[in-house]
Chains A and B, each alone.
Chain A
Amino acid sequence: MDHHQLIQQFKEKAQLVSATIHPEMTLETALTTAVKYCQKKSSCQTSRPWESPPGHQDNGGAREHVKTIALPENHASLETLLSPMCSSRGIELVTKNFRNHARGMDMGITFADYGIADTGTLVIGCDGEDMRLATMISDIHVALLPQSRIRSTALELTDELEDMMAAPGAYTAFITGPSRTADIERVLAIGVHGPLELHIMLLKD
Chain B
Amino acid sequence: MEKKTSQETLKAYRKRIDTALDNDFLRTAMDRFAVAYKEGRKNAFKDMDTDDLIEQVAILKKKAIENRTALLEEFTFQAEKKGIQVHMAADAQEANNIISHIGKAANCQKVIKSKSMTAEETHLNPWLENRGFKVTETDLGEWIVQLRHEGPSHMVMPAIHLSRYQVADLFSQVTDSRQDAKIEGLVKVARSTLRDNFIEADMGITGANFLIAKTATMGLVTNEGNARLATTLPRVHVVLAGIDKILPSLEDALKVARVLPRNATGQQLTSYVTWITGPSQCTSMETDKREMHIVLLDNGRSAIADDPLFSQVLHCVRCGACANVCPVYRMVGGHQMGHIYIGAIGLITTYFFHGRENARNLVQNCTNCGACKAVCAANIDLPRLIKEVHARIQDEEGHPLKSLLLAKVLKNRKLFHGLLRSASLAQVPVTGNTPYLRHLPMVFSNEHNFRALPAIAKVPFRDRWKKLKPRIDKPAMKIILFSGCVQDFVYPEQLEAAVKLFKKGSVDVEFPMGQSCCGLPAMMMGEKEAARDVAIQNVKAMRGFNAQWIVTLCASCASHLTHATRDLTKGFLPDKEIKDFIQRIIPFSDFINRFAPETVLPGGKDLASHAPKAVSTAGKGKVTWHSPCHLCRGMGVRNAPKDLIAASGQTFVQAEEEETCCGFGGSFSANFPAVSREILTRKLDDAENTGAELLVTECPGCVLQLRGGAVNQERNLKVSHLAELLAGTVKTSSD
B274 touches A45 (CB 8 A): no
A193 to B33, CA, bound (A): 25
Stretch touching chain B among A33-41, A75-83, A99-107, A142-150? A99-107
**A112 on the B face (CB < 8 A):** no
A residues in contact with B139, CB < 8 Å:
183
Expressed in whole angstroms, the Cα–Cα distance for A165 and B274 within the complex equals 11
Q: Is A115 an interface residue (CB 8 A)?
A: no
Q: What's the A-B contact tally at a CB cutoff of 8 Å?
A: 208
B residues near A168, Cβ cutoff 8 Å: 81-83, 277-279
A58 to B275, CA, bound (A): 33
Select which of A169, A179, A180 is within 8 A of B281 by beta carbon: A169
Using Cβ atoms and an 8 Å threshold, which residues of chain B touch A68?
none
Could you tell me the distance between the alpha carbons of A119 and B262 in the complex, rounded to whole angstroms? 11
CA distance A187 to B192 in the complex (A): 19
Interface residues on A, range: 35 or more
With beta carbons under 8 angstroms apart, the residue of A47, A169, A180, A184 that contacts B223 is A180
8 Å CB contact of A155 from B175, B226, B251, B274: B251
Interface status of A23 (Cβ within 8 A of chain B): no
| CB pair A193 B226 closer than 8 Å | yes
Interface mask (B189-228 → A, CB under 8 Å = 1, otherwise 0) = 0111111101100000000000000110100000111101
Shortest distance in angstroms between A101's beta carbon and chain B's nearest beta carbon?
A: 10
- Judged by a CB distance under 8 angstroms, whether A132 is at the interface is yes
Option from B175, B183, B228, B257 in Cβ contact (under 8 Å) with A184 = B183
Contact B271 A162 (CB under 8 A): no
Contact B140 A192, beta carbon cutoff 8 Å: yes
B228 touches A136 (CB 8 A): yes
Contact B140 A181 (CB under 8 A): yes
B183 and A133 within 8 A (CB): no
Which residue, of A103, A132, A174, has the highest number of chain B Cβ atoms within 10 A? A174
Supposing A48-B192, A179-B272, A180-B271 touch, asked if A170 and B278 sit within 8 A by C-beta, the answer is yes
Tell yes or no: B229 within 8 A of A by CB: yes
Is A129 touching B281 in the complex (CB atoms < 8 A)?
A: yes
Q: Does chain B have a CB within 8 A of A177?
A: yes
Residues 173-198 of A, flagged 1 when their CB comes within 8 A of B and 0 if not, give 11111111111111101011111000
Our pick among B228, B254, B265, B269 for the contact of A182 (Cβ within 8 Å) is B265
Question: Is the CB–CB distance between A183 and B159 below 8 Å?
Answer: yes
Is A193 within 8 A of B225, CB to CB? yes
Whole-angstrom CA separation of A186 from B214 in the bound complex: 37
Q: What are 18 sample pairs from A and B whose C-beta atoms fall under 8 A apart?
A: A127-B281, A129-B281, A132-B228, A135-B228, A161-B250, A161-B275, A168-B81, A168-B82, A169-B281, A179-B225, A180-B223, A184-B140, A184-B141, A184-B144, A186-B33, A187-B183, A192-B187, A193-B194
Closest B residue to A125 using CB positions: B275
Contact mask for chain B residues 128-159; partner A; CB cutoff 8 A; 1 contact, 0 none: 00000000001111001000000000000111
Q: Cβ of A185 and Cβ of B29 under 8 Å apart?
A: yes
Complex interface: chain A residues within 8 A of B144 (CB) = 183-184
Q: Does chain A have a CB within 8 A of B568?
A: no
How long is the Cα–Cα vector from A195 to B283 in the complex, in angstroms? Answer: 22
- The answer for the CA separation of A154 and B198 in the assembled complex, in Å, is 30
- Minimum-distance CB pairs A-B, first 4: A194-B225, A183-B141, A179-B225, A174-B273
Which residue of B183, B272, B278 is within 8 Å of A174 (Cβ)? B272
B315 to chain A, nearest CB (A): 20
- A158 close to B (CB within 8 Å): yes
8 Å CB contact of B195 from A104, A166, A174: A104
A contact residues around B255 at 8 Å (CB): 155
16 more A-B residue pairs beyond the given contacts A121-B269, A186-B29, with a C-beta to C-beta distance below 8 A: A13-B268, A45-B191, A45-B192, A48-B175, A102-B233, A132-B228, A136-B225, A165-B217, A168-B277, A169-B278, A172-B277, A173-B272, A180-B224, A183-B141, A184-B164, A194-B272
Interface residue ranges, A against B (CB under 8 Å): 13, 16-17, 45-51, 60, 97, 99, 102-104, 118-121, 127-129, 132-133, 135-137, 154-155, 158, 161-162, 165-187, 189, 191-195
* Cβ–Cβ contact B274 & A174, under 8 A: yes
Who on chain A is nearest to B181 by CB?
A184
CA distance A184 to B196 in the complex (A): 22
Contact of A99 among B196, B225, B279, B283 (CB under 8 A): B283
Find chain B residues with CB under 8 A from A169 CB: 82-83, 277-281, 289
User: B163 contacts the other chain (Cβ, under 8 Å)?
Assistant: yes
A199: shortest Cβ distance to chain B, in Å? 15
Interface residues on B, range: 35 or more
- Give the chain A neighbours of B289 by CB distance below 8 A: 169
Establish whether residues B138 and A129, one from each chain, have CB atoms under 8 Å apart when the complex forms: no
Q: A179 — which chain B residues lie within 8 A by C-beta? A: 223-225, 271-272
Task: Check B271–A46 contact: CB distance below 8 A.
Answer: no
Contacts of B228 in A (CB 8 A): 132, 135-136, 173, 193-194
Structural contact, B225 and A129, CB atoms closer than 8 A: no
Please give the residue numbers on chain B whose beta carbons come within 8 Å of chain A beta carbons, in ascending order. Answer: 29, 32-33, 36, 81-83, 138-141, 144, 157-160, 162-164, 167, 175, 177, 179, 183-184, 186-188, 190-196, 198-199, 214-215, 217, 223-226, 228-229, 231-233, 250-251, 254-255, 257-258, 265, 267-284, 289
Check if B226 sits within 8 Å of A165, measured CB to CB: no
Given A168-B279, A169-B280, A169-B289, answer yes or no on A184-B199 (Cβ-Cβ < 8 Å). Answer: no
Task: State which of A46, A135, A165 has its C-beta within 8 Å of the C-beta of B277.
Answer: A165
Contact of B175 with A50 in the complex, beta carbons under 8 Å: yes
**Distance between Cα atoms of A163 and B269 in the complex (Å):** 22
A161 to B217, CA, bound (A): 11
Q: How far is the CB of A171 from chain B (nearest CB, A)?
A: 5
Q: How far is the CA of A29 from the CA of B367 in the complex (A)?
A: 61
Q: Least Cβ distance of A194 to chain B in Å? A: 3
Q: Which residue of B lies closest to A169 (CB)?
A: B280
Question: Does the CB pair B278–A46 fall under 8 Å?
Answer: no
How far apart sit A169 and B274, CA to CA, in the bound complex (Å)?
Answer: 13
Q: Are B192 and A136 in contact (CB under 8 A)?
A: no
Q: State in angstroms the CA–CA spacing of A82 and B83 once bound together.
A: 37
Residues of A within 8 A of B186 (CB): 184
- Given the known inter-chain contacts A192-B226, A193-B225, please indicate yes or no for A176 contacting B195, CB distance below 8 A: no
Asked if B272 and A45 sit within 8 Å, CB to CB, the answer is no
Give the shortest distance, in Å, between A16 (CB) and chain B (any CB).
8
Cβ A181 vs Cβ B278 within 8 A: no
Q: Is the CB of A129 within 8 A of B280?
A: yes
Residue in A97, A120, A128, A184 whose beta carbon sits within 8 Å of that of B187 in the complex? A184
Cβ contact within 8 Å between B271 and A154: no
- Known A50-B175, A165-B215, A168-B278; contact A183-B140, beta-carbon cutoff 8 A: yes
B residues near A174, Cβ cutoff 8 Å: 269, 272-275
In the bound complex, how far is the Cα of B228 from the Cα of A135, in angstroms? 10
Q: Which of A50, A132, A191 contacts B191 (CB 8 A)?
A: A191
Identify which of A16, A47, A165, A189 contacts B192 (C-beta below 8 A).
A47
Q: Across the interface, name the chain B residue whose C-beta is closest to A102.
A: B199
Chain B residues with Cβ under 8 A from A154's Cβ?
254, 257-258
Residue of A nearest to B175 (CB): A50
Whether B254 pairs with A155 at a CB distance below 8 angstroms is yes
- From residue A125, how far is it (CB to closest CB) to chain B in Å? 10
